[in-house]
Amino acid sequence: MVYLFLSEPNWNADVDGDSVKLRISLLSELESVIWSMMMSGGRSEARLWLCSTIAGMTSITPRHQRELFVTLLRSTRQKKGLASLLVHMMFEKNPQKGGSILAKKSHILEKFFEGNPKRILQWFSSSSSGSGLDQGKGVKALSHFSFKNRDICWEELEWKGKHGQSPAVVATKPHYFLDLEIQRTVENFLENVPEFWSSDEFAESLKDGDIFFIDRQFFVQYFVDLMYKEDSRDVWEVINEFLIEQPFSSLCQRLLITLEERDLFYFLDLLRKLLNPRIEPKNFNNISYLFEIILSKSGDFGSIDQVLLLNAVITQGRQLLRLLREEEFHEAQAKIDKIGLKISEIPTGANSLTPLFKNICNMTTVEVLKCLGLQCWIFYYTMSQEFLTPKSWESVFTDNEIDFRRSDKYALLDHDGSSEGPDFDRRASVVVKSRKKRKGRKKKRRAFNHNDDELGFDVGSWKSDLLSDSASWLLSTDGYSAAWSSADLPEHLHRSAYIEFRCHSSASFHCFKHHWNVLRSMLRYKKYR
């Protein structure tokens, strides 16, 4: 039996000190096992889970997300790695922003092309290079500048064939510029026509940012140097604009995972200070929203380790279970099995967690959150391992006073009132139709039998498996708003239990005001009867 403690406890019940000590001790053991597993190969995954959870937050405003990332970029320790990724992202999503900056500094490209025939041909060629560049931007700038300033540079043009072209001829036939010997002409301009590299014509060719395709890393490094070495106001302005325009989820997914852990922890602290401490509960099917509530109410976590563990057990139960089932963690799984069994043997009842809640005055807020999270995760683990049939799930609902009704999304009613899977009914229907077609035959066929050995398997067993896979329920835990299948029930119920724990522990004891005042507004108590 799994008792989820969804009912409001009786706070006047006697406190069983031994029960409290045993439960907290077992949860501490569970923490050690999970943490050792994360340290021996799963820590990087735990960081990914945390970054994914943060990316799912929806209450961060564009102004706040800009403030978050700019503060991080401008922190005492320069974040050149983070800045590089951000500039990469800007070149990819909105290259025009970078192009507008480069156009103002077009003269620096004189060194970019100097001694590099490959770059020259990529940018000034009149045909597509296949790299994403539009055709002819460089040569168009070159031809416009040359014709406009023919008195100072016409002699520097190198033509294919035996003779060159005069300005008068090219004026009537501008396509003759396609006959330029590009590499030699640009090399001449690099040596003898410095005016071209600062010209409006050349700058105009750079504004859309297509030139970044030629050597992305070169331009990324150049922009990072502008940010940190020159503290370029123009660059910081476009960075600020870009940060406001991008979705928070996109920024987090691309940038956070690259941070060192201390920088990620610093980011979390900045994020916590921006969250509304009076945030109201609404959608707890969104795990990121649940974590947002926790983060806004919790104060200082102390270390990134606490955040990684808390996020893993509260919002990433399914991922943690998947990690645990990997071959290298069989020993850890065996330990958790034993811990789960011992926790289940602690006397249960409507008020069996009351002693635990009454003991929280000796814990910090983060320790309480962790304790409740670990208790809920062991619920999730037990349900995922042991409850595999509709009957077992319905016993959980009954034991925990959760009203339920079978969803008709998948199941159909048989003549005797039992539920059958749709595929099974279809199979039976096919057999009946087939029989009707063979009525005229003299040879008798045996009637369809659910346990017919000729089928090669036990149809009754097959029906049971099918029902287990397809059965779903509408529950009072969410006001019958969604149909929950056996695959999703452990996560839903473990989350419901955590929410209720937070309600009970934060709404009932004024003597714990120091630790729990910040939690009181988090959730309204909802009794599931």
- Contacting residues for 295 by C-beta, under 8 A, at least 6 apart: 268, 271, 272, 275
- Tokens 């406001």 locate to 244
Distance CA 521, CA 281 (A): 9
Shared domain check, 332 and 194:
no
Shared domain check, 126 and 222:
yes
Distance CA 420, CA 427 (A): 11
Question: Which residue range forms the structural domain that includes residue 215?
Answer: 62-258
Shared domain check, 97 and 42:
no
Q: Of the candidates 468, 491, 517, which is a domain's last residue? A: 468
User: What's residue 430's pLDDT?
Assistant: 40
Shared domain check, 237 and 378:
no
User: What's residue 267's pLDDT?
Assistant: 94
Shared domain check, 142 and 155:
yes
Distance CA 325, CA 336 (A): 11
- Is residue 395 situated within a structural domain? no
What six digits make up the tokens of 318?
Answer: 């399914």
As a residue count, the chain comes to: 529
- Is residue 86 situated within a structural domain? yes
Give exposure, 355-377, as e/b (b: 16+ Cβ within 10 Å): bbbbbbeebbbbebbbbbbbbbb
* Neighbouring C-beta atoms of residue 117, cutoff 10 Å: 13
Shared domain check, 228 and 95:
yes
- Is residue 523 situated within a structural domain? no
What are the pLDDT digits (tens) for 398-439?
Answer: 767 778 788 765 443 333 333 344 343 333 334 444 444 444
User: What's residue 2's pLDDT?
Assistant: 54
**Side chain identity, residue 506:** S
What six digits make up the tokens of 224?
Answer: 């990072």
User: What's residue 88's pLDDT?
Assistant: 96
Distance CA 119, CA 165 (A): 26
User: What's residue 366's pLDDT?
Assistant: 78
Q: Can you spell out the DSSP letters for 272-304?
A: HHHS-TTPPP--TTSHHHHHHHHHHHH---SSH
Shared domain check, 161 and 67:
yes
Query: Which helix (H) or strand (E) segment is 9 a member of?
Result: none
- Tokens 């799930």 locate to 393
Q: Is 190 helix (H, G, I), strand (E, B) or coil?
A: helix
User: What's residue 82's pLDDT?
Assistant: 93
CA of residue 200 relative to chain centroid, distance:
44
Residue 245: closest CA among 82, 86, 48, 57: 86
DSSP state at residue 417 = S
Q: How far apart are the first and last CA of the chain?
A: 19
- Is residue 491 situated within a structural domain? no
Distance CA 141, CA 182 (A): 12
Q: Where are the beta strands (DSSP E) in 394-444?
A: 404-406, 412-413, 419-420
- Structural domain tally of the chain? 3
- Is residue 498 situated within a structural domain? no
User: What's residue 461's pLDDT?
Assistant: 41
Shared domain check, 313 and 344:
yes
Average pLDDT per run of 10 along the chain, which is 529 residues long? 52 64 89 88 85 90 95 85 95 96 95 95 70 65 89 87 69 72 92 95 95 95 95 96 96 92 92 75 64 76 86 86 86 91 72 52 73 82 74 73 70 38 39 46 44 42 44 76 71 56 40 30 27
Shared domain check, 328 and 225:
no
pTM over the 0.95 mark: no
- Is residue 239 situated within a structural domain? yes
- Is residue 250 situated within a structural domain? yes
Distance CA 486, CA 331 (A): 27
- Tokens 């011992």 locate to 342
Shared domain check, 42 and 189:
no
User: What's residue 367's pLDDT?
Assistant: 80
Shared domain check, 254 and 194:
yes
Distance CA 436, CA 427 (A): 15
User: What's residue 44's pLDDT?
Assistant: 86
Shared domain check, 272 and 221:
no
- Is residue 214 situated within a structural domain? yes
